[in-house]
């Protein structure tokens, strides 16, 4: 097992030697992709894989790595309760809307990070393990260096945008391999399909789970500066591939692109005989540099790589227009739909199930919520599904109304609270 891990890391590091310096136009793109066969360490596809990108919520993979490490070392247990600070509670969406002074169990914190990708929970974990989020970010960067992630620098625990917080597709693949290798038991959390907290169920943002054969993790991410990102781990017939995509224009387009890359990767991997591989030695470590994204000197190109032929067969995603925002959420601005308001919770649940039955492809991964609303005439229960884009919400309502079913598009709860300003 250890020998296989060294072989994989050797191939990843050797891939970086094939990358030259990029032009400014290449550096400005958000797109990057990498597909690796973990059994052999072979790079099956890569494009801009050594170029620095903003990790967004992929950052939380490292947050979880350090949390799993603390659990294994006995410094913290799954049943310990972590206290929420004012700083943690003030984090913008995506969030569980934790309040200062309340607590959350470590087990629930893990599930909230894996599924909801909650920024407030990431800070709670950071403060519990590092004292402050900034100190924890330094621990994250130190651990990244020790794992061989030489082009990664963390500035926070959540992935909220910081121009200095950067990584590469190669480094994210290295992290995905490391967390599964070092914490095989805890890694199973990444396959969690949903998580319930205070009456609301949150589905995993990784839509490949349950919809793309063999997927067992690991994480999505989004900020305007990076586009839609995804690290995926998929096993079929004893062959496991790790895929990384940065810069998708939407979550669905990113997912479709990842599936195409993985489909092609499995076809190529079937022809690889591990015994025939000659793995080169690891190159000498490069000096650490505090580089900025879009620096022509800091961003290597992908010319001459092992994935050049695959790149010609699979065109890149269309590049999104530049955009910047303060928040980090996995699916951009969250919207939802309300499919009725009822006198009983059971009727609200039935309405949600009926809507999903009519729009299974769109609503299977949406977060269901039955929200009580007290009125003078009594309590009503609003049947809602969240986790959609505005366009998806409006399209869903049009389709449901054609079936004579009630539907109103609504901004997500997080967006309503964020627009209202900080709470006093």
| CA gap 108, 197 in Å, rounded | 8
- Asked if 35 and 88 touch (Cβ cutoff 8 Å), the reply is no
- Asked if 55 and 151 touch (Cβ cutoff 8 Å), the reply is no
Q: Output the CA–CA distances (angstroms, integers) from residue 106 to 77, 101, 122, 144, in the order listed.
A: 7, 16, 11, 23
- Examine the residue annotation and report whether 117 is marked as an active-site residue of this protein: yes
Which of 221, 222, 224 is closest to 325 using CA atoms?
224
| CA gap 274, 8 in Å, rounded | 11
- Examine the residue annotation and report whether 226 is marked as an active-site residue of this protein: no
Which of 57, 233, 250, 305 is catalytic? The answer is: 57
Q: Output the CA–CA distances (angstroms, integers) from residue 6 to 14, 180, 216, 420, in the order listed.
A: 12, 14, 23, 51
Which of 40, 117, 226, 233 is catalytic? The answer is: 117
| CA gap 348, 354 in Å, rounded | 10
Instruction: Classify strands 367-375 and 378-388 as parallel, antiparallel or unpaired.
Output: antiparallel
* DSSP code of residue 166: B
- Asked if 68 and 61 touch (Cβ cutoff 8 Å), the reply is no
Token pair in block for residue 312: 């010609």
| CA gap 420, 93 in Å, rounded | 13
CA end-to-end span of the chain, whole Å? 53
Which of 254, 108, 304, 266 is closest to 192 using CA atoms?
108
Q: Which residues are catalytic?
A: 57, 60, 117
């Amino acid at each position: 097992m250890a020998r296989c891990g060294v072989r994989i890391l050797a191939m990843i590091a050797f891939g970086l030697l094939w990358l030259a310096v990029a032009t400014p136009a290449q550096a400005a793109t958000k797109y990057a992709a990498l597909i690796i066969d973990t059994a052999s360490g072979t790079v099956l596809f890569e494009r801009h894989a050594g170029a620095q990108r903003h990790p967004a919520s992929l950052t939380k993979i490292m947050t979880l790595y350090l949390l799993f490490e603390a659990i294994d070392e006995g410094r913290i247990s799954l049943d310990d309760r972590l206290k929420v600070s004012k700083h943690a509670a003030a984090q913008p969406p995506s969030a569980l809307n934790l309040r200062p002074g309340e607590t959350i169990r470590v087990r629930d914190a893990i599930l909230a990070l894996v599924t909801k990708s909650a920024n407030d929970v990431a800070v709670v974990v950071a403060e519990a393990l590092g004292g402050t989020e900034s100190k924890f970010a330094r621990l994250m960067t130190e651990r990244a260096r020790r794992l061989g992630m030489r082009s990664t620098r963390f500035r926070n625990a959540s992935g909220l945008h910081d121009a200095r917080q950067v990584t590469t597709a190669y480094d994210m693949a290295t992290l995905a391999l490391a967390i599964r290798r070092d914490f095989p038991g805890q890694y199973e959390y990444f396959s969690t399909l949903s998580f319930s907290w205070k009456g609301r169920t949150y589905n995993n943002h990784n839509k490949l789970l349950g919809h793309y054969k063999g997927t067992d993790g690991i994480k999505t991410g989004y900020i305007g500066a990076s586009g839609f990102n995804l690290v995926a781990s998929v096993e079929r017939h004893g062959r496991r591939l790790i895929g990384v995509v940065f810069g998708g224009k939407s979550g669905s387009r990113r997912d479709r692109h990842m599936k195409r890359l993985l489909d092609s990767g499995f076809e190529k991997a079937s022809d690889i005989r591990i015994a025939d591989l000659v793995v080169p030695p690891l190159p000498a470590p490069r000096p650490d540099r505090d580089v900025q994204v879009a620096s022509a000197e800091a961003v290597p190109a992908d010319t001459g790589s092992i994935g050049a032929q695959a790149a010609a067969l699979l065109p890149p995603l269309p590049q999104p227009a530049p955009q910047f925002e303060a928040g980090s959420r996995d699916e951009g601005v969250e919207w939802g739909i309300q499919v009725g308001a009822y006198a009983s919770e059971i009727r609200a649940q039935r309405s949600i199930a009926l809507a999903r039955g009519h729009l299974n492809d769109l609503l299977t991964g949406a977060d269901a919520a039955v929200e009580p609303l007290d009125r003078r005439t009594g309590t009503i229960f609003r049947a809602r599904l969240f986790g959609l884009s505005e366009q998806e919400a409006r399209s869903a309502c049009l389709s449901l109304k054609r079936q004579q079913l009630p539907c109103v598009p609504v901004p997500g709860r997080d967006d309503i609270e964020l627009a209202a300003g900080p709470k006093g």
